[in-house]
Structure 1
Amino acid sequence: MKAGIVGLPNVGKSTLFNALTSSKTAQAANYPFCTIEPNEGVVSVPDDRLERITKYIVPKKIVPAALRLVDIAGIVKGASEGQGLGNKFLSHIREVDAILQVVRCFEDSDIVHVAGTVDPLADVEVIETELMLADLQTLDNALPRAERAAKGGDKEATRRVEGIKLCLEQLGKDEPLRKLQLDPEVAKAISSFGLMTAKPILYVANVDETDILGQGPLVGKLKAFAEKIGAEVVPVCAKLESEIAELDEADRKEMLESAGLNEPALTVLARAAYRVLGLQSYFTAGVQEVRAWTVPVGATAPQAAGVIHTDFEKGFIRAEIYSLEDLETYKSEKEIKAAGKLRVEGKSYIMQDGDICHFLVNS
C-alpha cells in the first residue's frame, strides 16, 4: 500500500517528502515541475506499543510498520488536458492507494504561489477539479469498450458498465467518487481504472513557524472544509520538520521542546496516513525481534499470517493471540497462558488492531 503526496507547485511537497523519508538530498529549486519522475520512499509508522511490548519481551531487534510514499510532481490547472505534463503526473496518482494533498497555509513573498495568492480552498478545488476531469476522461473512454463486451454476455463487463455509469452520474454532479458507495463486485469490476477521486484523501496543511499548531485562519478554512467531507487535516511545518529530521536524537528533542511540540508533526502525519489507507497493525514478539505487521482493517487471521510469508496463509492452522493490556497485567506470555488469557483463533477470526500473535502453520 502506498500514498501519493500531491499538490500545486511550490507548496512544500518535496520538502515534506524529504523530511518524512529523512532524505538529505538537496531541496528542489523554487520552480514549478521540479519533480518530474515520482520519488518513492519508505517511512516508519511510529507506534508506542512497540516500546511497551519490549518492557516485557526484550528483543534483539525492533521493527516498526512501514508506509510507502510517492512524491508526485505539482499539478496545475489544466493538468487533465496535458498542461505542465499533467497527463504524465496524473498517471502516477492512479498507481497509489491514497492521496496526501499538501496545501499551502502560509504567506511568504519569497515563494511564488502559482495562482498569485494564497487560498487553501482554491488550491483544493484546482486539484479536485483536475482529478475529476481526468476520471471523466477515463470513464468516457472505457464505456464504449465495456458496452461492446457486455453485449456478448460477459458478466464482468456488465458490472463494469454499471460501475462506469454510476461513476459518470456522480462526477456529473461535481462530486468526487470517494463519496459513492458501490456494490463490492461492481467496485472490483472498475478497480483497474485507478480512478483518482475514488481514493481516500488526507489534507496536509503546510504552515510556517509562526503557526506550528495550525491554529491560524488559513488552516481554519481548510479544516472547516475537510470536516464537511469527512476528511482529516494534519498541520505540518515542512521547513521546520525538514530541519528536525536532520538532527540527532538529543538535538531533535531539544528543538521540539523549543517549538512547543511533544513529537514531530511528521509522526502524527504518518499515523494519519496509515488510518486513511485503512490499515492497522498486529505484532509478533520474541527474543529475536518485536515487529509490527501491516494488514488492512478486516483482514482474517490467515491473511495476516500471509503477510509474514505467503505459505503461512495456505498452511494456516490457528493463531494464538493476546493483548498488550494482558501483557502489561501478567508481565509474560507464560503468565498470560496460565491465567487463561491466551486466545486460540481459527481461520474466520478478524484481526484486531494491536493483537499480539503466534501463528501455527503446516510447513
Structure 2
Amino acid sequence: MEAGIVGLPNVGKSTLFNALTSSQSAQSENYPFCTIEPNEGIVSVPDPRLQRITKYIKPQKIIPAALKLVDIAGIVKGASDGEGLGNKFLTHIREVDAIVQVVRCFDDPDVIHVAGKVDPLADIDTIDTELMLADMQTLENAIGKAQRAARAGDKEAKVRLDAIEKCNAHLETEQPLRTLTLSDAEAKAISSFGLLTAKPILYVANVSENDLEGKDPLVTLVRDHADKAGAGIVCVSAKLESEIAELDPADRDEMLADVGLAEPALHHIARAIYKTLGLQSYFTAGEKEVRAWTIPVGATGPQAAGVIHSDFEKGFIRAEVYTLEDLETYGNEKDIRQAGKLRVEGKDYIVQDGDICHFLNKT
C-alpha cells in the first residue's frame, strides 16, 4: 500500500518528501509545476517496540516496517478541467491508497504562495473541490453503462448503480466520499473506479521553526477541520526536518535537543501515515532478526503469515503468539511458554498490533 503526498505548489510538499525519504536531490525552484513526474520513496516506520524486544532477544539485524510514498506534483485550481498539468496529477492520486495533504501554516515573503496569501483552509478547499469534480466526472462516465446493465437484469449492476447514485448525491452536498457510508457490496461494486475523495486523508500542517507545537491560529483552523472530517493531523517544520535529516546521527541528536524535540517529527508523520493506511505491525523475533511485518488491521493468522511467504498462508496450521509485555515480564520465550502465556491461535485469529508470532505450517 502507498500514500501520495499532495498540496498546492510551494507549501513544502517536496521538501517534506525529500526529508522523509532522505532524498539528496536538489531543491526544486520556487515556482509551480516544478515536479512533473511523481517521485517515489520507501520510508521506514519507526517503532520503539523493536528496541524493547532486542533487550531480551539479541538479533543479527533489526528490520522495521516500511511504506511507500509518492510525491505528486502540485495541484492548482482548475486541475479537473486540465489546468496546470491537470488530469495527469489526478491519475497519480488515483493510484495511491491514501492522501497526505501538506498545508502551509506560516508566512514567508521569500516563498511565493500560488494564491498570493497563506490560507490553509482555502488550500484544502481547492484540492477537495478538484478531487470532488474529478470524482463526479468518473461517476458520470460510469452511470450510463450501469443503467443499461441494471435494466437488463444484472444484479451486480443494480448494486453498482445504487452506489453511483448515492455517491453523486453526496458529492452534490460538497462533501468528500470518505464521509459517506456504503454497504460492503456497494463499496466493492465501485472499488475499481479509484474515487479520489473516498481515500483516507492525513493533514500535515507545515509550520515555522518557531511554532513546532502548532499553536499558530492557522494550525488551529486545520486542526478543527481535521477533527470535523475525522482525519489525522501532524505538525512539522519541513524546512527544519530537511536540515535535521541531512545531519550525522550525533549532530542530529544535538540539534533535536536544541529545538526541544525527543525525535524528528518525521517519525510522527511516518507512523500517522501508517495508521491512515489502516496498517499495523506484528513481530517475529529470533537470533537472525527482529522484524516488523506490515498487515492490514483485521488480518487473520493465515493472512499475516502470508506476508512472510505465500506458502505460509496456504499451509497455515496455527500461530504461537505472545506479547511484548509477556517478554518484558518473563524475559525469554521459554519462560513465557512455561508460564502458560504462549497462546496457540488458529485460522480465525485476528492478529493484534504488536503480537510476537511464530507460524507453524505444513511442509
Q: Could you say whether these structures have the same fold, taking a TM-score greater than 0.5 normalized by the shorter chain as the test? A: yes
| Aligned residue in 1 for 2:191 | 191
Q: Which amino acid aligns with 1:180?
A: L
Give secondary structure in 2 for the equivalent of 1:85: coil
| Aligned residue in 2 for 1:129 | 129
User: Quick check: 1:348 aligned with 2:351?
Assistant: no
Q: Deviations over 1:310-354 (max 9, x none)?
A: 111111000000000000000000000000000000000001000
Moved more, 154-163 or 226-235: 154-163
| Aligned residue in 2 for 1:73 | 73
| Aligned residue in 2 for 1:147 | 147
Shift of 1:289: 0.4
Q: Which amino acid aligns with 2:205?
A: A
Q: Which amino acid aligns with 1:110?
A: D
Q: Deviations over 1:100-155 (max 9, x none)?
A: 00000010111111110100101000000100000000001111012222233333
Q: What is the alpha-carbon distance in structure 2 between the residues aligned to residue 203 and residue 275 of structure 1?
A: 13
Shift of 1:205: 0.4
Give secondary structure in 2 for the equivalent of 1:144: helix
Q: State TM-score, norm by structure 1.
A: 0.99
Q: Deviations over 1:243-284 (max 9, x none)?
A: 111111110000111111111000001111111111110000
User: Quick check: 1:264 aligned with 2:264?
Assistant: yes
Q: Which amino acid aligns with 1:312?
A: F
CA RMSD of aligned residues (A): 0.8
Q: What is the alpha-carbon distance in structure 2 between the residues aligned to residue 30 and residue 149 of structure 1?
A: 50
Q: Which amino acid aligns with 2:125?
A: E
Q: What is the alpha-carbon distance in structure 2 between the residues aligned to residue 109 and residue 68 of structure 1?
A: 33
Give secondary structure in 2 for the equivalent of 1:84: coil
Shift of 1:162: 1.3
Q: What is the alpha-carbon distance in structure 1 between the residues aligned to residue 25 and residue 174 of structure 2?
A: 40
| Aligned residue in 2 for 1:293 | 293
| Aligned residue in 2 for 1:13 | 13
Moved more, 143-152 or 23-32: 143-152
Q: What is the alpha-carbon distance in structure 1 between the residues aligned to residue 250 and residue 39 of structure 2?
A: 29
Superposed, 1:207-226 pairs within 5 Å as 207-226=207-226
Q: What is the alpha-carbon distance in structure 1 between the residues aligned to residue 320 and residue 254 of structure 2?
A: 42
Shift of 1:214: 1.1
| Aligned residue in 2 for 1:118 | 118
Q: What is the alpha-carbon distance in structure 2 between the residues aligned to residue 153 and residue 333 of structure 1?
A: 59
| Aligned residue in 1 for 2:103 | 103
Q: Deviations over 1:26-62 (max 9, x none)?
A: 1111110111111010100000000000011100010
Shift of 1:230: 1.5
| Aligned residue in 2 for 1:163 | 163
User: Quick check: 1:235 aligned with 2:235?
Assistant: yes
Shift of 1:186: 1.1
Q: What is the alpha-carbon distance in structure 1 between the residues aligned to residue 312 and residue 220 of structure 2?
A: 48
Q: Deviations over 1:76-122 (max 9, x none)?
A: 00001010011000011011111000000010111111110100101
Moved more, 222-231 or 182-191: 222-231
Q: What is the alpha-carbon distance in structure 2 between the residues aligned to residue 326 and residue 220 of structure 1?
A: 41
Q: Deviations over 1:293-325 (max 9, x none)?
A: 011111100000011111111110000000000
Give secondary structure in 2 for the equivalent of 1:280: strand
Q: What is the alpha-carbon distance in structure 2 between the residues aligned to residue 166 and residue 324 of structure 1?
A: 45
Q: What is the alpha-carbon distance in structure 1 between the residues aligned to residue 358 and residue 195 of structure 2?
A: 38
Give secondary structure in 1 for the equivalent of 2:86: helix
Q: Deviations over 1:160-202 (max 9, x none)?
A: 1111111001101111100111111110110111101101111
Shift of 1:220: 1.1
Q: What is the alpha-carbon distance in structure 2 between the residues aligned to residue 358 and residue 64 of structure 1?
A: 17
Superposed, 1:243-322 pairs within 5 Å as 243-322=243-322
Q: What is the alpha-carbon distance in structure 2 between the residues aligned to residue 198 and residue 259 of structure 1?
A: 38
Q: Which amino acid aligns with 1:263?
A: E
| Aligned residue in 1 for 2:48 | 48
Q: What is the alpha-carbon distance in structure 2 between the residues aligned to residue 149 and residue 38 of structure 1?
A: 37
Q: What is the alpha-carbon distance in structure 2 between the residues aligned to residue 185 and residue 312 of structure 1?
A: 29
Q: Which amino acid aligns with 1:243?
A: E
Give secondary structure in 1 for the equivalent of 2:359: strand
Q: Which amino acid aligns with 2:308?
A: I
Q: What is the alpha-carbon distance in structure 2 between the residues aligned to residue 186 and residue 229 of structure 1?
A: 22
Runs of 4+ that moved beyond 3 A: none
Q: How many residues get paired?
A: 363
